[in-house]
Structure 1
Amino acid sequence: MPLESPAALEFLLSRRSRPAKTLVAPVPTREQLMLLLTAAARSPDHGKLEPWRFIVLEKGAMSRLAALTEDRGHALGKAPEDITKGRNQFDLGQLAVAVIEVQKPSEKIPTIEQTYSAGAVCLALLNAALAAGWGANWLSGWVSHDRVFCDQALGLADNERVAGFVHIATEGTAPPERPRPDLNAITSWVSE
């Protein structure tokens, strides 16, 4: 019989990201954040490559990133509403962890598995923050895919890209529950 963890299962069955725009101060201390990063780093990692790293974006960095987002949005010809949306995650952000995918050469581990691992780290960090009582949200958006932004804002190497920005702070207003997938519509069973 497997060892059960009813509290963990109940958390996973009821977990809910909190909209980043509703997150307010205070944020986790560095010690509290290191515990969350430790949990995230226990994600599946075939070959033990550690194909990811963390960049912690504190409040003081947010205005610089917001301004760079606006500059890049104009340079790319983005619509004003897209620029505003891109800016808002930094203008309103209290603290975020940029999870950086780091593609590493490997004869055994395909690059797609390294990408999956970085995504798993994002979800693990999000869930760790929520389980610790913080509000949290995993965002990306056009800025995370703009190479110039990533180079200027985060100093990424050629083999690196943003897997996501995980915003962590105190939950403001709780969001309403939203519809969930119809499991019967998306599940197949193979018996033979």
Structure 2
Amino acid sequence: MDAIELLLTRQSTPRLTSPAPNERELKIILDAAIRVPDHGALAPWEFIIATGKGLDTLADIYVYAAKASGGDEDFIHKAKGMPMRAPMVITVVAKTQQHPKVPVLEQQIAAGCATMAMQQAAFALGLGAVWRTGDFAFDANVNAALGLAPEDQIVGFLYVGTPAVAAPIKLQKDGSQYARYL
């Protein structure tokens, strides 16, 4: 698949199954992440990878956070199953720092770009991925359980695996409808 085809056909793959990326594929995915624009070479990101028992740990963290926020039994049950929607979940964290030329927002955007690059790399490898956020991306209990500092921001949970079904390619839209000239 060439780069333009990848950019024009990339899509989220919400129904994922095993296998997860193998070691070589995961290295490619992570290497793609750190090639994104990074003003000041700050590397303002961390990738927390959960597979196997790590998914159980992530589920326990979600359940703890759901209970701590007063979630009802349905939400707590849903929280326990969330990490099991894929054989790998990569939590992408913006690890920002004060810098005279690189604002915090720019660093968070760089971490977001890293997430997109990982999703595209997975897609190019024939894998599937979906970028999710939700309440747990903004939950202080989740941050603490993952060992993050209060100023760290989860920018997404990238669910990665093998597509469970062949998803049809979405119709290509005309990007110029969202553009204007000055």
TM-score (norm: length of structure 1): 0.84
Q: Retained in 2: the 8 A contact 1:18–1:174?
A: no
CA distance in 2, matches of 1:99, 1:68: 16
1:33 partnered with 2:26: yes
Q: 4, 8, 11: which one pairs with 2:6?
A: 11
SS in 2 for 1:100: strand
Shift of 1:182: 5.9
Choose which of 136, 145, 157 in structure 1 pairs with 2:129: 136
Cα deviations across residues 77-127 of structure 1 (Å, max 9, x unaligned)?
235554454433313331111111101121111111101101100101110
Aligned to 1:167: 159
Which is higher, the Rg of structure 1 or of structure 2?
1
Percent of counterpart pairs with the same letter?
A: 31
Q: Where does residue 68 of structure 2 map in the other structure?
A: 75
Structure 2 residue matching 1:117: 3-state secondary structure: helix
Q: Partner of 2:2: helix, strand, or coil?
A: helix
1:118 aligns with 2:111: yes
Q: In structure 2, how many angstroms separate the alpha carbons of the residues matched to 1:188 and 1:82?
A: 43
* Equivalent in 22, 35, 46 of residue 42 of structure 1: 35
Q: CA RMSD in A?
A: 2.1
Answer whether contact 1:59 1:93 (CA < 8 A) is retained: no
Do structure 1's residue 156 and structure 2's residue 142 form an aligned pair? Answer: no
Q: Deviations over 1:9-58 (max 9, x none)?
A: 11211111100xx2111111223201210011100101111111211111
| Separation in 1, partners of 2:35, 2:103 | 20
Q: Tell me if structure 1 keeps the 8 A contact 2:133–2:157.
A: yes
Q: Distance in 2 between matches of 1:181 and 1:81?
A: 38
What SS does the aligned partner of 1:175 have?
Answer: coil
Amino acid at match of 2:16: L
